[in-house]
Structure 1
Amino acid sequence: MNTQDSDDEQALKQPLRAKSSSILATERLLAAKGLNATQSKGRILSPHNKYYKQWCLGAAALAMLMAVIDPIHLAFAAADGLYPYNDFWAVVEYIVMITFATDMALKFFVAYNDPKLGMVYEPKLIALNYFRFWFWVDLVTTLPIESIAIAGAGGNQGYNDEECLLLGLIRWINLARLYRVAGFFEHLDRKMVLGQVALTLLRTTSLLFFVAHCMGCLFYFIARVEGFSDNSWAGAEEIMVEAEPWERYFLSLYFSFVILTGFGDNIFYDKNAVESFFVIGYLLICVLLNAYILGSITTVMVSDDERSNTYRERVEALNAFAEQKELPETLKELMREHLELLHHTEATSDELILHRYPPTLRKKVLRHLYLDIFRKCYPFRGCKTRFLEEVIGMAHMEIFNPEVEVVLEGDVV
């Protein structure tokens, strides 16, 4: 038995030597070297470390929150920069800067997965890999570039300085932080926290709201730059001029959703050339967004219905067969019950799941599932383990409903 285990371990190392960029392949490579996928090496953290993953999820949540707050700040708040230091927006900026600066520092001490080298723990290689691209994205989105630009333009002038308002557009660079959110949705998909339908609905709904939110804030920003003149959509609407700031946001969001869903009319769109140009771009985005959402939902629904359609086709074929061959109703019912059993179990059958894996790993799984059962079976009592493993590897598993005859009287076994 020990010899067999040793042979299996040696054989298992062969497929693990293959270099792959996937997470599972990385974990197998680490396991072959006696390391855990979440194990750190000196000062360098594993990207699969539990605490680092929690930190990444927190950074993604903060990036999502700031993706909502930044457009509101741009459209509805004064362009004050980081002064005064006790201002609400300044405090938020300081917290965000400290958090993402800490995240940048951590990334110099987190290993990365290289397609050729596997998991890299060398600090110099980690730094070089980070400097190639993502360091500059993190740097630009962490530095208070808007505040630096406003200070360079002559200080904070608030609502009365059109230049400071326009310089506030630099804040949109911060939306590049949302690459962390893509990793968050990949985490949800990989860990199967939600079902495929629920995850798709969450992703598309979040994208829909985010686009409508950003465009609504930009509509209000354009009207604000225009000074809420009668030549802007906001200035032409009395309810917009007299509303409170939070009411103005919801009116802007409503206006954005009206355009996004295509249920508006031209009365809102032709106030001035800037707004018309902006709406043209927005409508193009809406076309692409609607196509993406429809495609995503359709794909999920179709794939979810495939198994049900397959089952219906099998039942219809059975009914036609039973009618043509004049089968008795009891026999037809037994066949239908077996079809229903297959419908619920074939997705997790041994053949369907295990054929994707190498023979050594497949043998280990089958040994775990059936070796003890075969040992307790009367015809195989006293047989050697190696022989039983060969029988298990060649055997074919079939599932039967309760109280169904597996072997008929007189059959040769």
Structure 2
Amino acid sequence: MGKIVCEQQMMSLNADVLPQYRQEAPKTPPHILLHYCAFKAIWDWVILCLTFYTAIMVPYNVAFKNKTSEDVSLLVVDSIVDVIFFIDIVLNFHTTFVGPGGEVVSEPKVIRMNYFKSWFLIDLLSCLPYDVFNAFDHDEDGIGSLFSALKVVRLLRLGRVVRKLDRYLEYGAAMLILLLCFYMLVAHWLACIWYSIGRSDTDNGMQYSWLWKLANVTQSPYVVLNSPEGGTTELIHGPSKKTMYVTALYFTMTCMTSVGFGNVAAETDNEKIFTICMMIIAGKEIT
């Protein structure tokens, strides 16, 4: 008799572990998705991967002024990502959520109002086709550059990523992988900012900036092109984007790990101020 009771308890263990709303399998309207169904779980992972893609490519394109009109394949990929983010908005209007009392809310009107009050504005701004607008503007100082800068708004979607990944933080291996990904992502962002500062100082004629020195070391010096109208100058040639990005990432990694080989160093005041801020950020992450 005791054995039978034990077996019954083992069989009911999984049911006890599951949340109450999963045990009950609530009835929903035909056009409403359960937030824990298999399709929604796969879809959330797709959105997660595309969000990381956005978090990597947006700062790079903004910092290096990489216009998607120059690369048709990149424009197509970014347009597909925008469409998928828009579909995600539509799905969120038809997906249940867990209410304050632990119950599943499946009423369409309540779902819509909850989404409007939470993530709708951020999701809408993140799926606007900034790359398409930017592709039709050939003036780097025009409205195209504004749309390029507005793409940074897409990084706000990382807030949803953190919320979705919170359930995996109890696993040691997953925690280690997430910390490594976060570390590399921060290093990538700082590298893009580091390049932007060096480019700005170089454009302002500071020939001792890290970017100008890199051009001389790699034997790809900048050439100052004077405007025929006078008063303005433009820098042409210089190192390749690959060389500049790898060097910037190399510097941020050595700075954040407190290695500091010194072959790439802050020279201008702007570079020194940013380096100090970066050291503070790295110190916070370590502690």
TM bracket (short chain) = 0.7 to 0.9
Matching residue within 90, 93, 99 for 2:75: 90
CA distance in 2 between partners of 1:252 and 1:219 (Å): 6
Maintained 8 Å contact 1:44/1:121 = yes
1:262-273 alignment to 2 at 5 Å?
A: 262-264=258-260, 268-273=264-269
Q: TM-score by structure 1 length?
A: 0.54
Matching residue within 93, 108, 114 for 2:99: 114
Matching residue within 195, 199, 205 for 1:220: 195
Of the two structures, which has the highest relative contact order with CA contacts closer than 8 Å and spacing of 6 or more? Answer: 2
CA distance in 1 between partners of 2:174 and 2:18 (Å): 21
1:389-400 alignment to 2 at 5 Å?
A: none
2:151 aligns to what? Answer: 171
Count of matched residue pairs: 255
CA distance in 2 between partners of 1:162 and 1:276 (Å): 30
1:7 aligns to what? Answer: none
Query: What's the offset of the Cα at 1:77?
Result: 4.3
Query: What's the offset of the Cα at 1:115?
Result: 1.1
CA distance in 1 between partners of 2:198 and 2:144 (Å): 15
2:47 aligns to what? Answer: 59
Q: Deviations over 1:303-340 (max 9, x none)?
A: xxxxxxxxxxxxxxxxxxxxxxxxxxxxxxxxxxxxxx
1:146-295 alignment to 2 at 5 Å?
A: 155-158=137-140, 161=141, 168-189=148-169, 196-227=171-202, 229-237=206-214, 238-239=216-217, 242=220, 243-264=239-260, 268-291=264-287
Specify the code of the residue in structure 1 equivalent to 2:137: G
CA distance in 1 between partners of 2:278 and 2:146 (Å): 19
CA distance in 2 between partners of 1:52 and 1:44 (Å): 11
Query: What's the offset of the Cα at 1:52?
Result: 1.1
Structure 1 residues 78, 123: CA separation in 2 closer, same or farther (over 3 Å shift)? same
Matching residue within 66, 85, 98 for 1:78: 66
Maintained 8 Å contact 2:79/2:131 = no
CA distance in 2 between partners of 1:62 and 1:88 (Å): 16
Maintained 8 Å contact 1:74/1:221 = no
Query: What's the offset of the Cα at 1:269?
Result: 4.7
2:34 aligns to what? Answer: 46
Q: Deviations over 1:341-361 (max 9, x none)?
A: xxxxxxxxxxxxxxxxxxxxx
Structure richer in helix, relative to its length: 1
Query: What's the offset of the Cα at 1:226?
Result: 3.6
Q: Which runs of 5+ in 1 are unaligned?
A: 1-11, 17-21, 191-195, 292-413
1:102 aligns to what? Answer: 87
How many percent of aligned residue pairs carry the same amino acid? Answer: 24
Specify the code of the residue in structure 2 equivalent to 1:100: F
1:245-394 alignment to 2 at 5 Å?
A: 245-264=241-260, 268-291=264-287
Specify the code of the residue in structure 1 equivalent to 2:209: S
Q: Which runs of 5+ in 2 are unaligned?
A: 1-11, 221-238
Q: CA RMSD in A?
A: 3.4
Query: What's the offset of the Cα at 1:266?
Result: 7.2
Maintained 8 Å contact 1:45/1:111 = yes
Specify the code of the residue in structure 1 equivalent to 2:257: T
Specify the code of the residue in structure 2 equivalent to 1:216: A
CA distance in 2 between partners of 1:261 and 1:123 (Å): 50
Query: What's the offset of the Cα at 1:75?
Result: 2.6
Q: TM-score by structure 2 length?
A: 0.75
Structure 1 residues 132, 212: CA separation in 2 closer, same or farther (over 3 Å shift)? same
CA distance in 1 between partners of 2:219 and 2:188 (Å): 20
Specify the code of the residue in structure 2 equivalent to 1:115: P
CA distance in 2 between partners of 1:240 and 1:285 (Å): 30
- SS of residue matched to 2:19: helix
Specify the code of the residue in structure 2 equivalent to 1:261: T
Maintained 8 Å contact 1:57/1:184 = no
